[in-house]
Amino acid sequence: MNSPNKLELSHVYKSFARTEGEDVTQALDDINFTVNDGEFLSIVGPSGCGKSTIMRLIAGLIFPTAGTITLNGEIIKGTDTGRGMVFQKPTLFPWLTVEQNLHFTAKMQGLKRDSSYMAEAERLLELAGLSDFRNDFPHQLSGGMAQRLALIRTMINHPKVFLLDEPLGALDAFTRMNMQDEILRLWQRSNHIVLMVTHDIDEAIYLGTRILVMAPRPGRIREDIRNDLAYPRIRTSDEFLGLRKKVLELLNFGQSKNIKEV
């Protein structure tokens, strides 16, 4: 039996050089949180608060200026298929077809594509509306189709940590809600860790067991909210709307003091 996964960020700071001189931009300031198996962490906040920087740090694409990021007690030192990331824009291999992109990781790892794997691949292609486009190349897809492919390509690998950086923004409303439900099913089936950056407050509440509200310049955690609403969640329930109001207030929206008189 595998041990439960634990992702921990401890006193993480991140700065970026602005010029060749000494000027730097402090993107993150003393970030501390832990996520365990079975948790879905939604991260919300205004532009410039470091949401995507956190995701890239966890993915191992960049490294903290100070502090540590560990998965199961081991410091993250680079990328790994155990931490799968879907970006805001699809990162597909242009020389591979839709189906070849979907199977890329399994092929590179020499994994056996048995009947169970192929059945799941077909289900995901159907879910993403790509069954009839399996032999097309990325340049032949719309932006939304390409993003759906990027999403299911990560889903099929069942990573220990599933990182989603605003992956549904390019999708139409109906497809977006369907993909939200599929992400939930994936998470509930695997019981692994999911972190998702989103600008959609309703999406954050609908999906997350926790909602991390961030503030900008430098990026810092304003509040870590526990979301105990039962699944499946009703977007029009009083409890849902009450939590939505709380998050919006933390983000300084909907408060009369922020509305200038004309």
Convert the pLDDT of each residue in 44-96 to its tens digit: 999 889 999 999 999 999 999 999 999 999 999 999 888 999 988 888 999 99
CA dihedral 251, 253, 254, 259 (to 10 degrees): 140
Q: Looking at the domain assignment, is residue 219 inside a domain?
A: yes
Predicted confidence at residue 1, as pLDDT, reads: 55
Render the burial of 172-191: b for 16+ CB within 10 Å, e for the rest.
eeebbbbbbebbbebbeebe
Angle ∠(224,229,230) on CA atoms, nearest 5:
140
- Sign of dihedral through CA atoms 109, 112, 117, 119? positive
Q: Looking at the domain assignment, is residue 227 inside a domain?
A: yes
Q: How confident is the model at residue 5 (pLDDT cuts 50, 70, 90)?
A: very high
Predicted confidence at residue 261, as pLDDT, reads: 38
Strands (E), 4-96: 6-17, 24-36, 40-44, 66-71, 74-75, 83-86
Convert the pLDDT of each residue in 198-247 to its tens digit: 999 999 999 999 999 999 989 999 999 999 999 999 999 999 999 999 99
> Which residues pair with residue 226 across a beta bridge?
210
Structural domain containing residue 236 = 1-82+160-168+191-254
Q: Looking at the domain assignment, is residue 236 inside a domain?
A: yes
Predicted confidence at residue 107, as pLDDT, reads: 82
Q: Looking at the domain assignment, is residue 153 inside a domain?
A: no
- The CATH code of the domain that includes 6 is 3.40.50.300
Are residues 169 and 199 in contact, defined by beta-carbon separation less than 8 angstroms?
yes
Q: Which residue has the higher pLDDT, 127 or 9?
A: 9
Q: Looking at the domain assignment, is residue 238 inside a domain?
A: yes
Predicted confidence at residue 115, as pLDDT, reads: 84
Smallest CA-to-CA distance from 38 within 202, 178, 153, 160 is with 160
Predicted confidence at residue 167, as pLDDT, reads: 86
Q: Taking phi first (over 0 means left), then psi (-120 to 50 degrees means alpha), and beta for anything else, what does residue 86 get?
A: beta
Angle ∠(159,57,44) on CA atoms, nearest 5:
85
Tokens of 105: 């990781």
Q: Looking at the domain assignment, is residue 33 inside a domain?
A: yes
CA contacts within 13 A on the Cβ side of 239: 10
Predicted confidence at residue 209, as pLDDT, reads: 98
Q: Looking at the domain assignment, is residue 260 inside a domain?
A: no
- Sign of dihedral through CA atoms 48, 174, 243, 159? negative
How many independent structural domains does the chain possess?
A: 1
Convert the pLDDT of each residue in 96-136 to its tens digit: 999 999 998 888 777 777 888 899 899 989 888 899 999 99
Q: Looking at the domain assignment, is residue 235 inside a domain?
A: yes
